[in-house]
Amino acid sequence: MPERTATAAHDSELAQELRRGGQRVTSQRLVINRALKALDRHVTAEEVLSAVTERLPGVSLPTIYSTLELFERLGIVRRVSARGGAVLYDPRREEHSHLICERCGKVEDLDLTPETEGVLAAARRQGFEPARAELVLHGLCAACAAGTAPRRP
Ligand SMILES: [Zn+2]
Ligand SMILES: [Zn+2]
């Protein structure tokens, strides 16, 4: 898809979802959403901030966080808790699972979603109201397992 067409599609998709959630469509929200789509990977709020500062001079990190939280509530991004409490935002909306490397912190997608109906039902029996379930595997990425990953500070 040519870049301009893709941008327009992302804009109208976001506008629809904001309206459905009773939220205003602002240029700031559109720009942040475009940045997420362009980055197209698991990103921190800081990475989103540096991707949008040119288009949104003066935008602050708390604003980025609150926009990402709104996007999360609307199901536009998902939040992934990575190593050491780091929070990453994932613009990929298809159901998938995550693999988190405990050594280098890398987060990878796993294109498989396990059956969670039994888990959800058990949670309900306990009086919990589950919104969603996801699978996160902790371990070593291929490079770390092979001992070839560069060490991160
Ligand atoms: Zn690793
Ligand atoms: Zn993901």
- For ligand 1, the distance from its centroid to the CA atom of residue 90, given in whole angstroms, is 19
- For ligand 2, the distance from its centroid to the CA atom of residue 106, given in whole angstroms, is 11
Cα(138)–Cα(82) distance, rounded to whole angstroms?
9
The per-residue pLDDT for range 90-117, each reduced to its tens digit, is 998 888 999 999 999 899 999 988 888 9
> What CATH superfamily classification does 94-153 receive?
Ferric-uptake regulator, C-terminal dimerisarion domain (3.30.1490.190)
- For ligand 1, the distance from its centroid to the CA atom of residue 142, given in whole angstroms, is 7
pTM for the structure as a whole: 0.81
Question: In 12-130, where do the E strands start and end?
Answer: 78-81, 87-90, 97-101, 107-110
The per-residue pLDDT for range 16-58, each reduced to its tens digit, is 999 999 999 999 999 999 999 999 999 999 999 999 999 999 9
* % helix, strand, coil for the chain, step of 5: 45, 15, 40
Fold classified for 1-92: Arc Repressor Mutant, subunit A (1.10.10)
